[in-house]
Amino acid sequence: MFFIYGRKKAKIKSATDYIGTCSSCNSIGLEFDIFRDYFHLFWIPLFPVGDKESKGHCTKCGYPNNFNPRVKHIESITMTPVYLYSGLLMFFTLIGIMVVGNINTQKEKALFIANPKVGDVYQIRKEVGDSTYFHFLRVARIQRDTVVVYPNAFQYFRYVHKLNDQDYFVAQELFYTQKELKELLEKGEIYGVERDYEDADGFNRIKEIDTGSVVLHTTFSSDH
């Protein structure tokens, strides 16, 4: 990726002072500007760098006067404007939004696990040896504290958020207590719970199987 970054200078204050006289023409009046360097990324200020700098001149003859003690005092009490921290503020705001969003997601998952509904889909992450694979479980019915689920037919070797077009849930019942589901969530094996999903996600595709038959999970890697 191509990045545009660098160091630029911003004028943070302009003022006129009428105390003292010009050493060249003895007139009263000094105009001055105060500057602050900042680092930018794509022209967005990230943070200020270096010290403040002041430049002044006589209002009458234009003679430069950059070392006036009063100007230096005003320079020292001039605050760096907040906009020079825009990049950092945007970054930390984004981080904050992500953290809050993650906390809310975790709370929602815990709530869905504690209060399951028929049709809920659990996204499962399993580690076997050095391999990690993903699959889904769909809630078929609920019996007191036991949740009956259907597994999907395929297993995936990458994170997916919906079924492949050829994938489906198999009407073979698996049984979990709510305590077991909570433990799977806490261990990270349940990494997501889907509810109120779209038909395009494929979670409504269910196929019946003959009694006593065995479900074979097809190894499948999806781009979805």
In order, the DSSP letters of 102-142 are HHHHHHHHHHHHHS--TT-EEEEEEEETTEEEEEEEEEEEE
Burial 93-130 (b: 16+ CB within 10 A, else e): eeeeeeeeeeeeeeeebeebbeebeeebbbbbbeeeee
For tokens 């020292």, the residue is: 76
- The pLDDT score that the predictor gives to residue 95 is 96
Ranges of the chain whose pLDDT falls below 50: 213-219, 222-224
Could you tell me which of 33, 36, 47 has the C-alpha nearest to residue 9?
A: 36
Q: Kindly state the tokens that stand for 157.
A: 């070797």
Q: Kindly state the tokens that stand for 161.
A: 């958020």
Burial 59-83 (b: 16+ CB within 10 A, else e): eeeeeebeebeebeebbeeeeeeee
Could you tell me which of 32, 35, 70 has the C-alpha nearest to residue 51?
A: 35
Q: How far apart are CA 40 and CA 4, in angstroms?
A: 8
Q: How far apart are CA 26 and CA 63, in angstroms?
A: 11
CB 102 within 8 Å of CB 79:
no
For tokens 């196929």, the residue is: 207
Q: How far apart are CA 27 and CA 61, in angstroms?
A: 8
- The pLDDT score that the predictor gives to residue 65 is 86
Sign of the alpha-carbon torsion through 79, 84, 86, 89: negative
- The pLDDT score that the predictor gives to residue 216 is 47
